[in-house]
Structure 1
Amino acid sequence: MKGNHYFFAVKLPSEAKKFIHQWVMTNKEHFPFKRWVHPEDYHITLAFLGDQQIEMLERAIAAVGKIAKEEKPFELTFHQLGTFGKATEPRIFWLDVKPCERLTGIQKNVYNQCIKLGFSLDKKPFRPHITLARKWGGIDPFQMNLLDLYSFRQSFSFSVNQIVLYETHLDQTPKYKEYHVFQLDA
C-alpha cells in the first residue's frame, strides 16, 4: 500500500510499555507536550525506511531475518529522559536506555544491510530512545531541570527478543502496525 512508511524497530515487551505508561500518567501534567505517544507505539527505531515498494520490503525482510536468526535475546535497562530540538521548545521528549553493545551491533547490521539493498537512510548517529511525546505546547519555555526533577525513580530492565518491521498508519491509534516480526533465536 503506497503512502505508508516503514521502519525496523526493537519491540518493547508489554511490561516495559506498562512501566513507561504508568510514569507518563503520573507525570505528564508537568510536561505540556501537544501529542503523547500511544503506549502500544513505544519502540526503539533501528532504521527508518520511509515509503517503500513491496519488492524492496521483501528484500529487507529476508536480510533482517538472517540477522535475527544469528542473535540471542538480550537485556536493556531504561536510563534517562531527554529531548531533541530547541532546548526551550523541544520537538521530541524521550526516554533512552543504558548503552548496550548488542543493541548497537544489531542496529548497525540492520542499517548496513538496508544500505546495501539500496535504501536511502538517515545518516545521523544511532541514539536509541523511546519517543514519549512530540511538540512542546507549554506557555513558558521548556526547563531542562524538569528532566532530573521527574526522572524515573526506579530501575527497569527488560528482555529484547523481537525486532519488528512496522508500518505507519497516521489515521489510526495506535498508529504502528506490525508488518513482519523477527524472533531473536540464535
Structure 2
Amino acid sequence: MDQRPETGRLFIAVPLPDSLQNTIGEWTREHLGHLQFRKWVHPADMHITLQFLGDTPLQKVPELSEALRHAVKGFGSFPLEVRGLGTFGRPAVPSILWTGIDGQVSRLTDLYKQVTAATSRLGFQLEERPYKPHITLARSYQGESSFNLKGLDSTVSFGEWSPDSVVIYRTRMGRTPMYEVTQRIML
C-alpha cells in the first residue's frame, strides 16, 4: 500500500487586515459587473504573496514554521499602503488585475529576502522573475473589447496598515474563501 505523506499547496504571505479586505471587496463588487474577468478574488483571500511553495508534505510545516520564526524574529511591523491599479499580461487582455503596494516597500522587500533565504535552506525554489509585491484582484480578462486601465482611477488608495505577521496559507481548491491559514508567524 502506498504511504505517501499528505501534501498541501502552500505559500507564504503577508495577510491583510479585515478592514482592508472589506474596502477592496467593496471596490471589486462595484466593478465586477463591467470589468469582465473570469474570476474575482474573494476579499478574505486577498494577501501579499512572499513565496509560493507548491505541493508540500504537511509534515514539513513545523520545520518551515520554525525556520520562518527564526528568519523574521524581531523584524517588527512597518507601514504600507494599498494603492493604485495595474495589470500583468497583455494590456488588451490581461491575465491579472492587481492593486499595488506603497509605503515602506523596501522593508517588504527585505522581509521577502529573509523569508526566501530561510525557505531556500529547506530546499524550496525561488521564482525566476523579480519580486513585485501586489494584491491580485481578478484573473483572466474575457471582455469583448480590449481592456482599458485608463477608464479606472489608477491612483485609488484602499488604505494603510502596518503588517505584524506572515502566514503560511494552504490552498483549498473549490472552497470559498480558498486560502486557509496553517501557521501565523509574528514579526
Q: Distance in 2 between matches of 1:19 and 1:55?
A: 36
2:15 to 1, 11, 14: 11
Whole-angstrom CA distance in 2 between matches of 1:54 and 1:21: 31
Deviation at 1:23, TM superposition (A): 1.3
1:111 to 110, 116, 123: 116
Q: Could you tell me whether the CA contact under 8 Å between 1:60 and 1:117 is conserved in 2?
A: yes
**1:2 and 1:51 in contact (8 A); partners too:** no
Q: Which residue of 2 aligns with 1:163?
A: 166
* Contact 1:81 1:96 (C-alpha < 8 Å) held by counterparts: yes
Q: Deviations over 1:107-143 (max 9, x none)?
A: 0110111112111231211100001011101011112
TM superposition shift of 1:2:
3.8
Q: How many residues align?
A: 182
Q: CA deviation at 1:28?
A: 2.5
Kindly state the Cα deviation for residue 57 of structure 1 after the two structures are TM-superposed.
2.8
Sequence identity (%): 35
**Matching residue's letter, 1:136:** Y
**Consecutive unaligned residues in structure 2, runs of 5 or more:** none
Report 1:145-184 matches (<5 A). 145-146=150-151, 149-151=152-154, 153-154=156-157, 156-184=159-187
What is the TM-score with the length of structure 2 in the denominator? 0.90
Letter in 2 for 1:132: L
- CA deviations 1:30-67 (Å, max 9, x no partner) are 31101000000000000100001234333221111112
Q: Contact (CA 8 Å) 1:75, 1:160: kept in 2 or not?
A: yes
Q: Comparing 158-167 with 20-29, which one deviates more in the overlay? A: 20-29
Query: Shift of residue 176 of structure 1?
Result: 0.2
Question: 1:35 — aligned with what?
Answer: 39
Match of 2:100 in 1: 96
Separation (CA, whole Å) in 2 of partners of 1:66 and 1:154: 33
Moved over 6 A (4+): none
Deviating more after overlay: 56-65 vs 170-179: 56-65
Render the CA deviation track for 1:141-167: whole Å, top value 9, x for unaligned. Answer: 112313xx3335446211201210000
Unpaired stretches in structure 1, ≥5 consecutive residues:
none
| Cα distance in 2 for residues equivalent to 1:135 and 1:91 | 4
